[in-house]
Structure 1
Amino acid sequence: MTLWTQEAMNARLVRYADLIPCRTAFIDTKTPGSTEKENFTIIGAGVSESADQHVHITEKHGFNIGAARQPFGCVNSQHSHDTAEVFMVHSGRWRLLFGPNCEDGSLEIGPGDVCSVPIHMFRGFEKVDDGVGMLFTVLGEDDPGKVTWAPAVFEAAAGHGLKLAKGGMLIDTSDGDYQLKQVELEEVIDPETVAKLKTPPLDKLLECVATYERVRANPNPRSPLAAEGVEEAAIITPRPTRDGFEPGPISGWWPHGCNLRLLTLQTGAYVPMHSRQEAEVLILQEGTLEVSWADGAIVMGAGDTLTVPVGLPHAFRNTASVPAIAFVARGTEDPAPPVFLG
């Protein structure tokens, strides 16, 4: 039986202040308009194309957690994924752009909002208000594969010396093409492939968005975590779950491999010791949250990420004067009920 010491649990916590960014993560990082973006790989391998990308926690969870931090006007270029990509807005306002050339419309999301963009379609995003903003992401599966870039992204990157090798490794040729010897390059996708990555109608895409104002606590049956001052709301629930959640508000027509919830504790609220059968990752959106277990406790602050070991009895408490609000990812589409001690 693993002894979860304070030191061992601290290694499963990634503080917002300790996040290590990569500014060379993708093929568009030298393209004007995209040079200031920072990419973070928090849990899992992610989809970065750069050998410089730091991975904070390598343990497999069945999904990946990452983030992007960008200033006003900074763009993350048009791309497609083979597994789920979920955006959780931590700060700032963001515009999601659809289609290989941004021609298929857009949606705007802000703090606390969530959007799960369907697989096999082009999307990009840009920061649209003043200052620097932060998006957390969930990518489906342990190996989310590689990014498929729109043809225009390849063309723009080539003008700034960046090439992509087969398998997704970035090569910078700004000092000469000698690095390309004996390297097979990724090819620009053909028009037929572009046509297959078709954008659904915007009214269909609206099914993939849950605004913070729209999210409601699980009413029937009540969440097993619900208590005085404690609410658990569904955000992504692909199908009915054993712990009492019905599908929605985002269910999707593609695999997610996880559930996403919003857990809110008012001042003084407490969730007693309980354990889970699946991976559980908390990303604190607002306030502070104490997570305790038999041998210690961690106090999370806004922007911190904690992965709780499977089977470890743990409790939650809000000791601050403002609500604690956390996104919680559970590593299955059908989470089991928590097991409470005593």
Structure 2
Amino acid sequence: MLSQRLIRYADLIPCRNAFVDSRTPGSDAKENFTLIGPGVSENPNQHVHIPEAHGFNIGGARQPPGCLNSQHSHETAEVFVVHSGRWRMIFGVNADEGEAVMEVGDVISIPTQMYRGFENIGEETGFLFAVLGRDNPGKVTWAPRVFDLAKHYGLVLLEGGRLVDTTAGETVPEGARLQRAPDAGQIARLATPPADKLAGCVVTPRQFVANPASPLAAAGVEELAIITPAPTGDGFQPGPISGWWAHGFNLRALRMASGAVVPMHARSEEEVIFVHRGVLQVMTPEGEVILGPGDTFTTPKGLMRSFRASSSAEVAAYVVRGGDAPAAPAFA
């Protein structure tokens, strides 16, 4: 059923203790979401909205003003789209090796094997739409200070990534090994790249590249490249973010004027649509769904689908397509 592949923003189920830093003052108000795939939560009780493997994971983070996500490193690509709020991405194991300020609509792809954190510096609660590489993105490597604070507030992280909450009556299983903080050698291997390289990891909506050769391009319809690791079968060249690290997916922006239509077509790879602005109607032989701002929908591979911008204003959506080089769509 199509309804089982639709995640309404209003129906998102958060986890408020997904990670070992969740009780650290300044980080204790954050909400983490796993929309599609297993994600990287350290809490086995994290709700997964759609567990189906896609080759990548879709998640989200919602934080009030001043709320901080502590310094950590990932083993696969981590991409953020700013849906709301104003954010500061902070680099380095001690959060002192550079930053990037992100506004609504901006995208950042953070390289693997480096420390990063992020803080909502705006005046309203903000939401980040997130994409993580691979079905199993691996465990998070936290900065040493996070372990000290977690222990103080009753959280213990085991090897393998499981979180034990001693304040909730949980106990460390007999024989279990505690996750140790990274040593100096590990930290050195997670060094922050030079600032000029990191600058190429951030793209604003003004820098998205519309592709007139896109099979979807038509009157009132633009498909714009954001993350393209390699030349694709549907006519996109690498960039503006290609990365020296693996992504395993493409990220596009889809802009449609009011009333514009993309005709029926099918895809041979996974396709996840996140609506940023406007109302998007997705029509398939199995029915239709109406997506509003913040909603996420994953269309079954091979199923015919068409899009219509049904709001009075422009529709702006972000589209994740599986693989480094998606094929051309098959039109009806």
Are the aligned partners of 2:164 and 2:171 in contact in 1 as well (CA < 8 Å)? no
1:317 aligns with 2:294: no
1:190 — aligned with what?
A: 183
Which of 128, 133, 138 is the equivalent residue of 2:126? 133
Separation in structure 1 between the aligned mates of residue 209 and residue 286 of structure 2, nearest angstrom = 34
Separation in structure 2 between the aligned mates of residue 40 and residue 265 of structure 1, nearest angstrom = 28
> CA-to-partner distance for each residue in 1:46-102, whole Å, 9 max, x for gaps?
000012210000000000000000000000000000000001110011000000010
1:329 aligns with 2:320: yes
Are the aligned partners of 1:24 and 1:52 in contact in 2 as well (CA < 8 Å)? no
Separation in structure 2 between the aligned mates of residue 297 and residue 263 of structure 1, nearest angstrom = 19
Q: How many positions carry a matched residue from both structures?
A: 332
Separation in structure 1 between the aligned mates of residue 170 and residue 235 of structure 2, nearest angstrom = 58
Which of 190, 197, 202 is the equivalent residue of 1:204? 197
1:295 — aligned with what?
A: 286
Letter matched to residue 143 of structure 1: N
Query: How far apart are residue 177 of structure 1 and its match?
Result: 8.4
Structure 1 gap ranges (5+): 1-7
SS at match of 2:119: strand
Separation in structure 2 between the aligned mates of residue 77 and residue 67 of structure 1, nearest angstrom = 15
1:40 aligns with 2:33: yes
Which of 78, 84, 92 is the equivalent residue of 1:91? 84
1:17-166 aligned within 5 A:
17-166=10-159
1:249 aligns with 2:240: yes
Query: How far apart are residue 181 of structure 1 and its match?
Result: 3.6
Are the aligned partners of 1:88 and 1:137 in contact in 2 as well (CA < 8 Å)? yes
Letter matched to residue 115 of structure 1: I
> CA-to-partner distance for each residue in 1:26-54, whole Å, 9 max, x for gaps?
00000000000000000000000012210
SS at match of 2:325: coil
1:225 — aligned with what?
A: 216
1:276 — aligned with what?
A: 267
Separation in structure 1 between the aligned mates of residue 271 and residue 227 of structure 2, nearest angstrom = 14
SS at match of 1:11: helix
Query: How far apart are residue 172 of structure 1 and its match?
Result: 1.4
Query: How far apart are residue 174 of structure 1 and its match?
Result: 2.9
Query: How far apart are residue 189 of structure 1 and its match?
Result: 0.9
Letter matched to residue 60 of structure 1: A
SS at match of 2:200: helix
Separation in structure 1 between the aligned mates of residue 260 and residue 208 of structure 2, nearest angstrom = 20
SS at match of 1:136: strand
Letter matched to residue 118 of structure 1: P
Separation in structure 2 between the aligned mates of residue 190 and residue 272 of structure 1, nearest angstrom = 55
1:236 aligns with 2:236: no
Bigger mean CA offset, 145-154 vs 118-127: 145-154
Structure 2 gap ranges (5+): none
Are the aligned partners of 1:83 and 1:141 in contact in 2 as well (CA < 8 Å)? yes
1:260 — aligned with what?
A: 251
Separation in structure 2 between the aligned mates of residue 183 and residue 148 of structure 1, nearest angstrom = 18
1:5 — aligned with what?
A: none
Separation in structure 1 between the aligned mates of residue 79 and residue 91 of structure 2, nearest angstrom = 15
SS at match of 1:174: helix
Give the 3 Å change call, closer, same or farther, for CA 155–267 of structure 1 in structure 2. same
Separation in structure 2 between the aligned mates of residue 178 and residue 248 of structure 1, nearest angstrom = 48
TM-score by length of structure 2 reads 0.98
Query: How far apart are residue 178 of structure 1 and its match?
Result: 4.6
Separation in structure 1 between the aligned mates of residue 235 and residue 171 of structure 2, nearest angstrom = 59
> CA-to-partner distance for each residue in 1:249-299, whole Å, 9 max, x for gaps?
100000000000000110110000000010000000000000001231111
TM-score by length of structure 1 reads 0.95
Give the 3 Å change call, closer, same or farther, for CA 176–23 of structure 1 in structure 2. closer
SS at match of 2:328: coil
Separation in structure 1 between the aligned mates of residue 205 and residue 144 of structure 2, nearest angstrom = 34
Separation in structure 1 between the aligned mates of residue 206 and residue 218 of structure 2, nearest angstrom = 21
Separation in structure 1 between the aligned mates of residue 239 and residue 195 of structure 2, nearest angstrom = 18
Instruction: Indicate the percent of aligned positions where both proteins have the same amino acid.
Output: 57
